[in-house]
Amino acid sequence: MTQNENTDIRLHPAYRLVALDSVTSTMEEARKRAEDGAEDGTLIWAREQTAGRGRMGRTWASPRGNLYFTLILRPDCAPAQAAQLGFIAALALGEAIGSVAPPLDVTYKWPNDVLLSNRKAAGILLESHALADGHLDYLLLGCGVNVGTFPKDAAFPATSLRYEGTPATVTEVELLEAFSRFFLSWVNRWLEDGFARARTAWLDHAAFRGERIEARLPKETINGIFKDLDEDGHLLLELEGGEERRIAAGEIFPPG
């Protein structure tokens, strides 16, 4: 891991930026710092990752030119509520992308992906650590955005901002600054009024809502209609025959 000394990034004082050049994964850097007591709002950003991690144990291709960061958060909430921050981060990423790029078709794929023209441009990895008494100690919110390049062999078809027409002058730094502003404003709304507004905003642009989908869960794959998102960020799926399933973890795809 090498420290980057010459980075001019403007973030709100609520964030403490740790700018790095090359790391294995910003999740690992963030975990070490969180265990050492790093404050809420510490943001670990790296130009490249040599062992970037995605959801479901996958790798996250992390060459230079894309955006990789992990935010350390210590919200005063129950671990179950912390999942709401994944949706808030997705909204902030979507709005950040919309603010730096020409008009793009931004949608959100459950749980926390950002799609451009129905292809994945950004993903979010949440990892939390609870104290012995069950309270949340810290939440690691890892975000990866395909700014310049994207993998051709992803589980869900991928894209990048550049591929979707964003000029090469738009950098990952500009995107990080925009994310930091939108995220802070969503978090403040969340702290004041709860999850309702973010949930509505997310649902208004949710991919596959009302459509038949395939849900790949840790132990099974099921099909049904994507009906709703509950207060805990669970997906409500209506199975054939009308039975409703509440899904906490998994991924969704168009029916195979």
Tell me the closest approach of the beta carbon of residue 242 to ligand BTN, in angstroms: 31
Closest among 5, 54, 4, 3 to 25, alpha carbons compared? 54
**Binding of ligand BTN by 144 (CB under 6 A):** yes
Which residue from 42, 70, 84, 160 is in contact with ligand BTN, where contact means CB under 6 A? Answer: 70
**Least separation in angstroms between CB 53 and ligand BTN:** 4
Q: How far is the CB of 249 from ligand BTN (least distance, A)?
A: 13
For residues 121 and 187, which CB has a smaller minimum distance to ligand BTN in the complex?
121
Q: Which of 41, 75, 94, 123 binds ligand BTN (CB under 6 A)?
A: 123
Residue 25 lies near ligand BTN (rule: CB under 6 A): yes
* 55 lines the binding site for ligand BTN (CB under 6 A): yes
CA–CA gap between residue 92 and residue 187 (Å, rounded): 10
What is the DSSP track for 80-136? HHHTHHHHHHHHHHHHHHHHHSSS--EEEETTTEEEETTEEEEEEEEEEEE-TTS-E
Q: Which residue is nearest to ligand BTN (CB)?
A: 123
First CA to last CA across the chain, in angstroms?
41
Closest approach of ligand BTN to the CB of residue 192, in Å = 28
Q: Contact letters (x/-) for ligand BTN, 83-122, by CB under 6 A?
A: ------------------------------x---------
Angle (CA) 207-74-204 rounded to 5° is 20
In whole angstroms, what is the distance from residue 18 CA to residue 70 CA? 10
200 C-beta neighbours (distance < 10 Å), count? 10
**Sign, Cα dihedral of 71, 102, 186, 107:** negative
Q: Which is nearer to ligand BTN, 191 or 233 (CB)?
A: 233
Q: Which residues contact 122 (CB under 8 A, 6 or more apart)?
A: 90, 93, 97, 113, 114, 143, 144, 145, 146
Rule CB under 6 A: is residue 68 a binding residue for ligand BTN?
yes
Q: Does 72 sit near ligand BTN (CB under 6 A)?
A: no
According to CB under 6 A, which residues from 35 to 54 bind ligand BTN? 49, 52-54
82/125 with CB nearer ligand BTN:
125
Distances (CA, A) of 199 to 87, 91, 165, 239: 8, 10, 29, 23
> Footprint of ligand BTN on this chain (CB under 6 A)?
25-27, 49, 52-55, 58, 60, 68-70, 113, 123-125, 142-144
